[in-house]
Amino acid sequence: MNIPRRLIFDIEKYKGGIAYKPDNGEKVDIVSGVKEIIPVPQNKRDHKIHKLLAEHYDIIFCTTQMMSDFSFYHIPSLWIFAIDSKGDCFGTIGGISFKTTS
C-alpha cells in the first residue's frame, strides 16, 4: 500500500507561493497551516446587517483585529471573519463555516 507522506506547510508568516517537487514520483498530501483575518471593507462597516448581528447575536465582524488577537494555530487553513464578546471566533475552512469556543 502506497500511503502518501503528509507535509504541513506553516504559511502564517509567509506571503507568497510554495512549491514542492517530490522525489521519484512519491505521493504527497500537502496541508497548509494558517489563520487569516478577513476584515469587513471600510465602505460596508455601517451596513444595517452588521449592526443587527452585533446587537442581537453578539457577532462582531472583523475590522481592526490582528493576528496576535488569536492565540491558536490552525491546521488546515482558517479564515476568521467575526468574533464575539467571549473571545470566540467565526470562520471558514474550505467553504465550511463554524464557530470556535474559548
What pLDDT digit, counting tens, does each position of 49-71 carry?
998 999 999 999 999 888 888 88
The reply to whether 21 falls in a domain is: no
The reply to whether 12 falls in a domain is: no
- Could you read off the pLDDT of 27-47 as tens digits, one per residue? 887 777 778 888 999 898 889
**Rounded percentage of the chain residues whose pLDDT exceeds 90:** 20
Q: Considering the chain, what is the average pLDDT of its residues?
A: 81
pLDDT class for 15, splitting at 50, 70, 90? low
- Hey, which residues does 35 pair with through a beta bridge? 78
Distance from C-alpha of 74 to C-alpha of 34, rounded to nearest angstrom: 6
Number of domains composing the chain: 1
The reply to whether 7 falls in a domain is: no
- Please tell me whether residue 66 adopts helix, strand or coil conformation: coil
Q: Which domain holds residue 54?
A: 31-99
